[in-house]
Amino acid sequence: ALLGKMGIRPAESVGALIAGLNSASELVASAAAQALGRFPDQSRSIIPALLQAMQKTNKIVARWAGRTLKDLDPYAAAKAGIK
């Protein structure tokens, strides 16, 4: 999540954070989902990854992905059933 907090090199940071969404560690995946919200300019690549993360069986990761999606794109979140 440090990459997201630093806010530098968006393309590289976003790629690493998207990969982090698939981590077996709930802590890492949740932190990645939260940090992705710091890159609204990269939402075109972030939104599909968040939508996919919301389908995970880990409810905590799915919840953080949904929250970040709602922050980045309320319309996409509503379409995905996030209120």
Measured between alpha carbons, how far is 72 from 36 in angstroms, rounded to an integer?
9
Measured between alpha carbons, how far is 32 from 10 in angstroms, rounded to an integer?
14
Task: Find the mean pLDDT for residues 51-80.
Answer: 94
pLDDT attached to residue 1: 46
Q: How is residue 11 annotated by DSSP?
A: H
Condensed to tens digits (0 to 9), the pLDDT of residues 1-52 reads: 455 455 566 677 899 999 999 999 999 999 999 999 999 999 999 999 999 9
pLDDT attached to residue 13: 86
Residue 63 has pLDDT above 80, yes or no: yes
Task: Find the mean pLDDT for residues 51-59.
Answer: 91
Burial 51-64 (b: 16+ CB within 10 A, else e): bebbeeeeeebbeb
